[in-house]
Amino acid sequence: MQLTLEFGGGLELLCDSVKIHNVSINPENGVGKLVMKDLLSWVRSNLIKERPEMFMKGDTVRPGVLVLVNDCDWELSGQLDTTLEEKDVVVFISTLHGG
Amino acid sequence: MEEAGAKPRKGVSCLCCICDNRKAALKRPKTLQQICRECFYEVFEEEIHQVIVKNHLFRPGERIAVGASGGKDSTVLAYVLSELNRRHNYGLDLFLLSVDEGITGYRDDSLETVKRNEIQYGLPLQIVSYKDLYGWTMDEIVKMIGLKNNCTFCGVFRRQALDRGAALLKVDKLATGHNADDMAETVLLNILRGDIARLSRCTAIITGEDGPIPRCKPFKYTYEKEIVMYAYFKKLDYFSTECIYSPNAYRGFAREFIKDLERIRPRAILDIIKSGEDFRISTSTKMPEQGTCERCGYISSQKWCKACVLLEGLNRGLPKLGIGRSRGLDNETEKREMKGRSSDGQTRSIESKQCGTLDF
């Protein structure tokens, strides 16, 4: 499954300062369904090069990190249970910095 | 970018609960409403307008400086104030005021953002620097004091630097981008530290009316998440990296806690602010009295203001001066130390750095 992942608000520094990543992920289970929970796991293992605690806390993103799927708040689509589809754009924005 | 004909994802074809027409783009933490972008812009801007009007933050004809760091809050503040000023005819003259603390790799980058904001929003910019005002950059200060208590120095110096800059611009008031999350963190911090004096003042939306320049916080009731979403959707240009010296700040703990709380019950942030506003100090508690600093004339509850104490410490090579709690209500012991003797009883000769005048 092709996805575009974007990191903002300082999170890009955890991924070698690259803001936009075009990735290809194979869903774990045979059904071919990918949910946010799995995506987060994948991101932590494959894209986050340092200080993973800045991105995730437990199973979910660190409080203060906003997640948008196709420019929509993930709180509207079920947060960790959000199903991802081909060509989706997922944006992670950290709010944890000075204003 | 969303298109009108975008296929709704299974289970997420909810419409905006205000216009019932467009697809919902976010869930507001303040009200838990699911709203679309356009309605979000409207409620966001309207709520801030109401805060400004209800709290009489501005008067027509005033010159207002927006404390601009290039970060998300101050950029959105500059943008929204400009917009509301036009739309509702506040009659204000707006300026951008930036402080250069001299933090390499952080402040120099964010200042570039403010310079772009100057052009993008058409607001004149004034920059004041610690080097000019105090003779020390934050980098130099940290080299001397180490990585603890950095925010103490920076915060105290920045407050006066903003007053200085505001005086140069001849403005009537200063507006800062402190948001609801910041306010809630500050209330908690003051409770955690038992700082009753600050606790009683910290939730005021206008402060310093008896000092050189009054300041106000139009974003007092605005959630950080909404500020970031607004900036994201409107594609506003802001700088977003944590200050390199901040990881050791105590505020980080309060922030972590507030963020965890927000996740469980978003309304908690506004409720903490309300609690802060409604605190009443027992009449039997002794409170510090406000006077002026003997050295520079700035407002102070002690004989010397904090900035003068800290600066003296830096210039005499006593980095701990002014750090930590002094038990009494005045800092006589600190003054005695400052008169030439260091903690080990020997007089030291440290080359004093030239500091600018702090006369008010």
Phi, psi of B46 (to 5 degrees): -65, -40
A99: in domain: no
pLDDT of residue B350: 32
**Residue ranges making up the domain that contains A49:** 2-94
Alpha carbon separation from B121 to A84, B81, B195, B228, B234 (Å, rounded): 38, 10, 39, 18, 14
Distance from CA of A44 to the nearest CA of B (A): 20
Asked if A63 and B229 come within 8 Å (Cβ–Cβ), the reply is no
Query: Is residue B229 scored above 90 in pLDDT?
Result: yes
What percent of chain B stands above pLDDT 70? 86
Q: Is the pLDDT of residue B292 over 90?
A: no
Asked whether the beta carbons of residue A99 and residue B69 sit closer than 8 angstroms, the reply is yes
Q: Which one of B242, B245, B265 would you mutate to disrupt binding with A, by most A Cβ within 10 Å of its Cβ?
A: B242
Instruction: Could you list the beta-strand ranges (E) of B68-203.
Output: 93-100, 125-129, 173-175
pLDDT-based confidence at residue B360 (cuts at 50, 70, 90): very low
Average pLDDT over residues B318-331: 65
pLDDT exceeds 90 at position B80: yes
Band (pLDDT 50/70/90 cuts) for residue A90 is very high
Would the annotation count B73 as a binding residue?
A: yes
Q: And the tokens for B16?
A: 């905006």
Q: Check whether B177 is labelled as a binding-site residue.
A: yes
Q: Is residue A34 part of a domain?
A: yes
Domains present along chain B, CATH in parentheses: 57-241+248-278 (3.40.50.620), 288-323 (no CATH)
| Contacting residues for B249 by C-beta, under 8 A, at least 6 apart | B150, B151
Q: What is residue B149's predicted lDDT score, i.e. its pLDDT?
A: 85
Summary mean pLDDT of chain B: 85
Q: Is A86 touching B (CB cutoff 8 A)? A: no
- The whole-number pLDDT of residue A29 equals 65
* ipTM for the whole complex: 0.94
Contact B71 A83 (CB under 8 A): no
A and B: number of Cβ contacts within 8 A:
90
Confidence (pLDDT) at B242: 77
Confidence at residue B9, expressed as pLDDT on a 0 to 100 scale: 52
* Residue A44 in domain: yes
Q: Which residues of B touch A69 (CB under 8 A)?
A: 9
Give the A window 39-78 contacts with B, CB below 8 Å: 62-64, 66, 68-73, 75-78
Neighbouring C-beta atoms of residue B18, cutoff 10 Å: 17
Segment B113-153, tens digit of pLDDT: 999 999 999 999 999 999 998 899 999 999 998 888 888 88
Q: Is the per-residue pLDDT at B5 higher than 50?
A: no
* C-beta atoms of B25 and A97 within 8 A: no
Beta strands in chain B (DSSP E): 26-27, 34-35, 63-67, 93-100, 125-129, 173-175, 206-207, 215-216, 291-292, 299-300
The answer, as to whether pTM is greater than 0.95, is: no
A76 and B233 within 8 Å at the Cβ level: the answer is no
The chain A residue lying nearest B256, using CA atoms, is: A63
Is A85 domain-assigned? Answer: yes
Mean per-residue pLDDT, B310-319: 89
Relative to beta strand B291-292, strand B299-300 is antiparallel
Alpha-carbon distance A72 to A36, whole Å?
Answer: 14
Say if residues B131 and B137 touch (Cβ distance below 8 Å): yes
CATH number at residue A33: 3.10.20.30
Q: Name the residue with tokens 């939730």.
A: B203
Domains identified in chain A, total number: 1
**Do A99 and B71 make contact, defined as CB atoms within 8 angstroms?**
yes
Minimal Cα–Cα distance from A70 to chain B, Å? 7
Q: For testing the chain A interface, which of B2, B23, B26 should be mutated: the one with the most A CBs within 10 Å?
A: B26
Instruction: Inspect the interface and report whether the beta carbons of A72 and B232 lie closer than 8 Å.
Output: no
The response to whether B249 counts as a known ligand-binding position is no
**DSSP 8-state code for residue A98:** -
On whether residue A47 sits in a domain, the answer given is yes
Asked if residue A17 is part of any domain, the answer here is yes
| Alpha carbons within 13 A on the beta-carbon side of B248 | 10
**Which residue of chain B has the CA closest to A17?**
B241
pLDDT tens digits along B165-203:
999 999 999 999 999 999 999 999 999 999 988 898 899
Tell me the pLDDT band of B13, cut-offs 50, 70 and 90.
Answer: low
Residues of B in contact with A75 (CB under 8 A): 26-27
CA of A25 vs chain B CAs: smallest distance (Å): 19
Encode B58-83: b = buried (16+ Cβ within 10 Å), e = exposed. Answer: beeeeebbbbbbbbbbbbbbbbbbbe
Q: Please give the structure tokens belonging to residue B359.
A: 């006369």
Enumerate residues 6+ apart whose C-beta is below 8 A from B235.
none
Res. B219: pLDDT tops 90 = yes
The pLDDT value given to residue A15: 92
Determine which of B199-203, B243-247, B275-279 has the lowest per-residue pLDDT on average: B243-247
